[in-house]
Structure 1
Amino acid sequence: MLFTTPLLDKPAPGWKHDLPGPNESPSNEPYPPVLSNPPNYVDDVYLELARATMRVRGVGVWMVPFIFLLSLGFPATLVAFAVKEHSAPPTSLVLVAFFGLITALWLGIYFWRMDVAPPRDEPIRFNRFRRKVYVYRFYRDGLRPFSRTAWGV
């Protein structure tokens, strides 16, 4: 039986319902679920709960072609300047175009890797026999998008 008002005069923060009293028999009616998702695995040895860190996937894959097209815009600016002025572009414009190209390529690779490399599920495992909690956490290093050791579980 769910109560509409708490038994305590000042309910605890986040109060949803009261537990049955000591002389009441437990009801078979399910209370609101504590876990939003069912566990991945339940056994006598361990309990594994799902934990998704990335809610939206696939956005980076669609952004990468536009970023690579943007990266091609920097050398195209140099070529357009050279054709229009009939001379070599100034060194400052070459440096800006070079760093813009490098930055756009790095961002494209980083967004691609952020979308494709992480696992869909990073579970939390409670081991009863060893009395340990295992948290699988994917780590990433944005400064080294090409490294195999800087990205992993």
Structure 2
Amino acid sequence: MKTIITYGTFDLFHIGHVRLLKRLSEMADKLVVGISSDEFNEIKGKSSFFSYKERAEIVASCKYVDEVFSEDNWEQKKDDILKYEASIFAIGDDWQGEFDYLNELCEVIYLERTKDISTTDIKKSLSKLNKDKLEEIESSMHEIINVVKSISPQ
């Protein structure tokens, strides 16, 4: 039985995540996914919208995933590969070369990311929408204040 192992934060689960997990599941009999814990994200300087527990539940519900587990530190990958008897370690090509040392345990592959979609981009877009909306509200409030001042006796 061929097992693939991969890792990620998987925050704001999107089509890029689905396509990655689908591709991986088609390459093996079993797909196991390490989800970065909240504490590990903090160490990496990341914060997630969803908690580890929520992200793990979301990823586990994906039909392409057989099992999820917590990724708590950088060093655990070797132990995880042995524990899950993974024959392939796969991760996005933005990590190209970073995990080549795992070739001593299994095949390491770097997959092309889905173009034009990332959690970071989604967060930036949402942040911009919020900022634009706040600026719109602030502008409206100034207009209201000016109107009120113009009709109020001084």
**TM-score for the superposition, normalised by structure 1:** 0.24
- Normalized per residue, which structure has more helix? 2
Q: TM-score, normalised by structure 2?
A: 0.24
Structure richer in strand, relative to its length: 2
